[in-house]
């Protein structure tokens, strides 16, 4: 058996969802290589510890697998993969319980290896506030200046912000998905363009799920262990008390990794998660220096010249007229204070007619320049 055959066997297993990393690890203690496991009889699989019904189900299923079709599909979608027996498999990830036996990826293989890289996972609410946006905008420049790689899950909200601002700051980011990496499966669809930007900027898309795997609800807790497993530390920014971000933090604790949390407003449901983590012993983070200390990196003034400022490194939108510019400037000032701005406040500041303000805000929302939380408005 050669290395390619071993990789092919593990590739095949990934299409049979009922044998995961824990069961496969158990089987590898009995069989000499993945190929022997894949082609073993139901009786031998049962002797090695597999449930009788599952062993028979697998041996019937494998009769239908067509590796030529699978490999053709991977080539067409420009999807590569590594297994846990390959030298390119991330060493940090191999340390965790139930490490994925296969990782599909698109992007830079060097980023996947992660040799010598300091990696920070950033996770949080899908409905982030201006506060979360200001935290990320202010913290990331000095982190990127010291070559920290940012890992998140490509979800809406905090995840997307972390990826976008890392790209705008010239850093490398890795997105771990709860779906397949083929064009039709990347989720959420609204972030497809962002996913391609990540690839083009020497970043990575990663998934343990084969192509054409939809974004099923149960996939996301599973992928969260990879987000934390690839990182030395996980930073939680805004999250409800029961959320995916808290699941990632729990995995980080189980994996003996650092858990960091941004303190928030005690009356906000989106601060309940981070505040709870801090009560449980997570390290409270109030500046980027706090994060740099976790990685034993030099703190203080930005040491390079990549970033002129730590104030909002997202690109400014194309505003069409003076009214749009006036309203945008008011919203931007609110962003600097991590606040949303109500229509009444915009009227007081700009002296514009309420109808004009409302219609302009609607236009800015449609163009993705502004957003509303139901009470006030903020820069999107």
User: What is the reported pLDDT for 165?
Assistant: 95
Are the beta carbons of 276 and 241 closer than 8 angstroms?
yes
Per-residue confidence (pLDDT) for residue 1, from 0 to 100: 45
Give 253 or 310, the one with higher predicted confidence.
253
What value does the mean pLDDT take over residues 358-380?
87
Instruction: List, for residues 252-292, the tens digit of each pLDDT value.
Output: 999 999 999 999 988 888 899 999 999 999 999 999 999 99
CA–CA distance, 336 with 358 (Å, rounded to integer): 22
pLDDT at residue 25 is higher than 90: yes
β pairing state of 102-107 and 80-83? antiparallel
Q: What is the mean pLDDT of the chain?
A: 91
For residue 165, give both structure tokens. Answer: 């601002």
Q: Which residue has the higher pLDDT, 22 or 298?
A: 22
- Mean pLDDT throughout 129-154? 93
Q: Is the dihedral of CA 113, 226, 290, 313 positive or negative?
A: positive
pLDDT class of 299 with cuts at 50, 70, 90: confident
- Tell me the C-alpha distance between 43 and 80, whole Å: 33
- The pLDDT tens digits for 183-224 are 999 999 999 999 999 999 999 999 999 999 999 999 999 999
Closest CA relative to residue 331, chosen from 323, 307, 194: 323
DSSP assignment letter at 154: -
Predicted local confidence at residue 324, as pLDDT: 92
261 vs 6, 120, 276, CA distance in Å? 41, 12, 9
Question: Which alpha helices (DSSP H) does 90-129 contain, by range?
Answer: 91-94, 109-113
H helix count then E strand count, the chain: 18, 11
Which token pair is 131?
């506060």
Over residues 114-138, the pLDDT tens digits come to 877 899 999 999 887 778 888 999 9
**Is the confidence at residue 236, as pLDDT, over 60?**
yes
244: tokens are 């995916």
Exposure on the CB side of residue 351, measured as CA atoms within 13 A: 0
- Rounded to the nearest 5 degrees, what angle is found at the Cα of 265, between the Cα atoms of 262 and 271? 55
Residues 62-81 pLDDT 10s: 999 999 999 999 999 999 99
CA 175/CA 181 separation, integer angstroms: 11
- Per-residue confidence (pLDDT) for residue 200, from 0 to 100: 96
Identify whether the C-beta of residue 228 lies closer than 8 Å to the C-beta of residue 125: no
pTM as predicted: 0.82
Select the more confidently predicted residue: 306 or 124. Answer: 124
Q: Which pLDDT value is given to residue 312?
A: 47
Residues 6+ apart with CB under 8 A from 340: 129, 130, 334, 372, 373, 375, 376, 377, 378
Banded pLDDT at 59 (limits 50, 70, 90)? very high
Residue range 136-147: mean pLDDT, rounded? 95
Residue 298 confidence (pLDDT): 83
Name the pLDDT band for 304 (thresholds 50, 70, 90).
very low
Q: How far is CA 312 from the centre of its chain?
A: 21
At residue 300 the predicted structure's pLDDT band, cuts being 50, 70 and 90, is low
What is the per-residue pLDDT for 314? 52
From the number of C-beta atoms within 10 Å of its C-beta (0-12, 13-18, 19+), residue 257 rates as buried
What digits encode the pLDDT tens for the residues 319-359?
Answer: 889 999 899 989 988 876 667 889 999 999 999 999 999 99
Residue pair 235/258 in contact (Cβ under 8 Å)? The answer is no
């Amino acid at each position: 058996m050669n290395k390619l055959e071993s990789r092919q066997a593990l590739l095949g297993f990934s299409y049979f969802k009922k044998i995961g990393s824990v069961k496969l690890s158990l089987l590898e203690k009995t069989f000499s290589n993945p190929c022997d496991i894949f082609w073993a009889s139901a009786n031998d699989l049962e002797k090695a510890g597999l449930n009788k019904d599952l062993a028979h189900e697998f041996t019937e299923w494998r009769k239908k697998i067509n590796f030529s079709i699978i490999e053709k599909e991977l080539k067409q979608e420009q999807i590569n993969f590594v297994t846990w027996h390959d030298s390119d498999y991330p060493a940090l990830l191999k340390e965790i319980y139930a490490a994925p036996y296969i990782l599909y990826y698109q992007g830079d293989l060097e980023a996947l290896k992660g040799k010598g890289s300091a990696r920070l996972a950033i996770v949080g609410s899908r409905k982030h506030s201006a506060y979360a946006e200001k935290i990320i905008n202010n913290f990331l420049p000095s982190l990127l200046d010291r070559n920290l790689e940012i890992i998140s899950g490509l979800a809406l909200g905090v995840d997307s912000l972390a990826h976008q601002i890392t790209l705008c700051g010239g850093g490398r980011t890795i997105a771990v998905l709860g779906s397949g990496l083929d064009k039709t499966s990347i989720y959420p669809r609204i972030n497809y363009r962002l996913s391609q930007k990540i690839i083009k900027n020497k970043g990575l898309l990663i998934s343990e799920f084969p192509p054409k795997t939809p974004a099923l609800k149960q996939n996301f807790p599973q992928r969260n262990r990879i987000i934390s497993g690839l990182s030395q530390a996980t930073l939680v920014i805004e999250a409800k008390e029961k959320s995916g971000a808290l699941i990632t933090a729990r995995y980080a604790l189980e994996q003996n990794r650092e858990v960091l949390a941004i303190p928030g407003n005690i009356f906000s449901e989106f601060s309940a998660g981070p505040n709870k983590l801090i009560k449980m012993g997570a390290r409270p983070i109030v500046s980027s220096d706090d994060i740099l200390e976790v990685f034993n990196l030099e703190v203080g003034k930005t040491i390079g010249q990549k970033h002129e400022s730590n104030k909002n490194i997202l690109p400014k939108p194309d505003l069409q007229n003076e009214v749009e510019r006036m309203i945008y400037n008011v919203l931007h000032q609110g962003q600097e204070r991590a606040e949303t701005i109500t229509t009444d406040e915009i009227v007081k500041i700009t002296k514009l007619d309420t109808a004009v303000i409302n219609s302009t805000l609607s236009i800015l929302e449609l163009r993705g320049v502004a957003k509303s939380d139901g009470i006030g408005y903020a820069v999107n």
